[in-house]
Structure 1
Amino acid sequence: MEDYFRFYGFQPAFNLDAAAVKARFFELSRKYHPDFFANESPEKQDEVLQLSTLNTNAYKTLSDPARRMAYLLELKGVLAANENYVLPQAFLMDMMEVNEAIMDLQFDPDQQKAGVIRGQVAAIEKEMQEELAALTRQYDETDDGAVQSGLLQAIKDLHYRLKYLVRMQENLAKLN
């Protein structure tokens, strides 16, 4: 796995300065633009094309907070591709009532009830996003590996719970 943080010269972190990421992207775009290497050997052209592609992929990942979070979790070995993560039972029990209400709305549409449920889901998401922001800030501010390890596990759990909420929001959006 390519280390986009290293490629951009950044320390791995959940919170990055968006302007710095953009500036680095443009700097490397100028440096590795394939047109500047048109007269070079095919090997050099291939190398530059790979670096240009790497720059584009790094920017797409590091400039998007959700992508950056998943990428950093994967880079640190905490998140695996196609992982079958089991959400905490307490969370699933809390979500059962909301899911049942969404299913009821599929059979008996009611815009007012749908609005109430959207508000509930938004409130849950806001609470989780605030918790996530606090955890990622703590992670970025500490150098203690043991503390970071525990924080990564908590961030991973929130990552999956937020993905679950996104699916709920998609189901709610289908009700319109």
Structure 2
Amino acid sequence: MISQPGRQPGSQRNSQEGAPQGLCPSCSAPLQTPLACGSCGVLIDVSHDEPSPFAILGLDVTFDVDAKDARKRLRRIAHKVHPDFYATAGEQQLDLAEQNNALLNRAYEILVDDVRRADWIVRNFGGPGEKDLGCMHQEFLMEVMEWNETLDENEPGSDEFQALEAELQAERKHLIESIRGYLTPLPDPKTPEGALALKDVRKDLNALRYIDRALTRVSGLPAPL
């Protein structure tokens, strides 16, 4: 489980504030990201203890993340770790830059995606995994069957497809708002209420998987794995 130093799950601070990162091992300057020092420019090898995506972008753990702010942080940190800046620095430095740049991009992708961000929080707060809750409720599975029938019996671009897409998008929005409610403030997994909230978020995430698969069929894109 990963938590911010000195903070308990369930407490919150403004997500726009940079989460504390410690000091640079080279010059002792405060770090804004565990991947590199903004003062002396040294790259930091974090392969022995991979930081959280929130720590990488200098954010506190929270469900609500400002995508524009995350993008600004991505660009700022990329100037410190992108491999293009280390093309002539030697093989070891180039390899480290590639490693840290990959970690940076993956952290950003998680933080700007509501589903992946919620999944990270549930897993790292000790909540259930995708397969830990068993089958979905029968009522929901019947609804999924109706969606599939509509997709099988109608042509892309038809009124039925458009109506189904609107229904799926509305249900998706509802589930995201439900997840936001459970994760704001962040639940304390040590309490019965917190453990139940994480379980409820996992149920919503599992339902979103079905909805997103149906939406990919509506759009004609390959279904996600």
TM range (shorter): 0.7 to 0.9
Instruction: Look up the match of 2:211.
Output: 165
Instruction: Look up the match of 1:152.
Output: 198
- Alpha-carbon displacement from aligned partner over 1:18-43 (angstroms, at most 9, x marks no partner): 12211111111011123433454433
Identical pairs, percent: 22
- Equivalent-residue separation in structure 1 for 2:203 and 2:145 (angstroms): 18
**Contact between 2:118 and 2:179, CA under 8 Å: does it hold in 1?**
no
Instruction: Look up the match of 2:85.
Output: 36
Instruction: Look up the match of 1:69.
Output: 118
What are the ranges of 5 or more consecutive residues in structure 1 without an aligned counterpart? none
- Alpha-carbon displacement from aligned partner over 1:85-105 (angstroms, at most 9, x marks no partner): 5212221133334434444x1
State how 1:13-32 maps to structure 2 within 5 Å.
Answer: 13-32=62-81
Q: 1:138 to 1:163 in 2, by over 3 A?
A: closer
- Deviation beyond 6 Å, 4+ runs, structure 1: none
Instruction: Look up the match of 1:133.
Output: 177
The structure in which a higher percent of residues are helix is: 1
Q: Looking at both structures, which has the greater relative contact order when contacts are Cα pairs under 8 Å and sequence separation is at least 6?
A: 1
Q: 1:152 to 1:143 in 2, by over 3 A?
A: closer
TM-score calculated relative to the size of structure 2 = 0.59
Instruction: Look up the match of 1:122.
Output: 166
- Alpha-carbon displacement from aligned partner over 1:123-162 (angstroms, at most 9, x marks no partner): 3541452243143244132453333432222222122212
Q: 1:35 to 1:171 in 2, by over 3 A?
A: closer
State how 1:3-22 maps to structure 2 within 5 Å.
Answer: 3-22=52-71
What are the ranges of 5 or more consecutive residues in structure 2 without an aligned counterpart? 1-49, 221-225
- Equivalent-residue separation in structure 1 for 2:88 and 2:148 (angstroms): 60
**Contact between 2:156 and 2:218, CA under 8 Å: does it hold in 1?**
no
- Equivalent-residue separation in structure 2 for 1:142 and 1:69 (angstroms): 11
TM-score calculated relative to the size of structure 1 = 0.72
Instruction: Look up the match of 2:102.
Output: 53
- Equivalent-residue separation in structure 2 for 1:96 and 1:38 (angstroms): 53
- Alpha-carbon displacement from aligned partner over 1:30-66 (angstroms, at most 9, x marks no partner): 1112343345443333222211121122122222223
Instruction: Determine helix, strand or coil for the equivalent of 1:70.
Output: helix
Instruction: Determine helix, strand or coil for the equivalent of 1:29.
Output: helix
Q: Residue 183 of structure 2 aligns to which amino acid in structure 1?
A: Y
- Equivalent-residue separation in structure 2 for 1:30 and 1:131 (angstroms): 36
CA RMSD of aligned residues (A): 3.2
Instruction: Determine helix, strand or coil for the equivalent of 1:140.
Output: coil
**Contact between 2:70 and 2:112, CA under 8 Å: does it hold in 1?**
yes
- Equivalent-residue separation in structure 1 for 2:96 and 2:214 (angstroms): 44
> Across the two proteins, how many residue pairs are aligned to each other?
168
Q: 1:110 to 1:57 in 2, by over 3 A?
A: closer
